[in-house]
């Protein structure tokens, strides 16, 4: 099995929600790949962090990616406009991979059409979107449901990262 995890970025990604899982994955000997709609290209986070995306969805084989991690911020609203990014999330999930989304990243899961019948959480402002997409929304720090991990906000990052590593193991 591969050790590659796609972490999605677009401009205005939430810096902490990117870097916290990124370094936790590195510590656990996984290989996080920075993926964006257009790559190679530099992207700037909500708080000014710059990251170079080295992969686009078309440069990856879906079979080589065991999971997708989606940070929040304003990036998910931009990511969901990319048909290639939406397809990557859907294809990895349908291929048996893990999908992890925190804060506003649940909006990308809505676009990927993978929430029906799942227990989920998110930042409260997208709760209705997730419910309308068929998810059962709950207000908890982290929710794991059928290979989908969701969390509400940056304060939940320790629980989010722990759940990702547990599910990958």
Question: Is residue 104 classed as helix, strand or coil in its secondary structure?
Answer: helix
Radius of gyration (Cα) for the chain, nearest Å? 14
According to DSSP, residue 133 is labeled T
Q: Sketch the domain layout of the chain as residue ranges.
A: 4-168
**Residue 2 reports pLDDT greater than 90:** no
Cα→Cα distances 35→65, 102, 163, Å: 11, 16, 21
pLDDT-above-70 percentage for the chain: 99
Strand partners, 42: 52
Question: Is residue 142 classed as helix, strand or coil in its secondary structure?
Answer: strand
pTM score, two decimals?
Answer: 0.97
**Residue 167 reports pLDDT greater than 70:** yes
pLDDT in tens, 23-70: 999 999 999 999 999 999 999 999 999 999 999 999 998 889 999 999
Catalytic residues: 103-104
Mean pLDDT of the chain: 97
* Residue that has been written with the tokens 């990511």 in this structure: 79
pLDDT number for residue 168 = 97
- Is 4-168 a CATH 3.40.50.2300 domain? no
> Cα(first)–Cα(last) distance of the chain, in Å?
11
pLDDT in tens, 110-156: 999 999 999 999 999 999 999 999 999 999 999 999 999 999 999 99
pLDDT number for residue 1 = 54
How many CB atoms within 10 Å of residue 23?
12
């Amino acid at each position: 099995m591969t050790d590659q995890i796609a972490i999605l970025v677009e401009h205005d990604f939430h810096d902490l929600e990117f870097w916290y899982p990124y370094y936790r994955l590195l510590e656990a000997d996984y290989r996080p790949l920075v993926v964006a709609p257009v790559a190679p290209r530099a992207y700037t986070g909500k708080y000014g962090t710059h990251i170079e995306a080295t992969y686009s969805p078309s440069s990856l084989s879906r079979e080589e990616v065991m999971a997708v991690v989606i940070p929040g911020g304003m990036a998910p609203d931009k990511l969901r406009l990319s048909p290639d990014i939406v397809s990557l999330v859907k294809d990895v999930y349908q291929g048996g991979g893990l999908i992890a989304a925190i804060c506003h990243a649940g909006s990308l899961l809505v676009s990927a059409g993978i929430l029906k019948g799942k227990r989920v959480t998110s930042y409260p402002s997208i709760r209705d979107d997730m419910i309308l997409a068929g998810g059962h929304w709950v207000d908890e720090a982290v929710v794991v449901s059928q290979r989908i991990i969701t969390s509400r906000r940056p304060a939940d990052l320790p629980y989010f990262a722990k759940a990702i590593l547990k599910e990958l193991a």
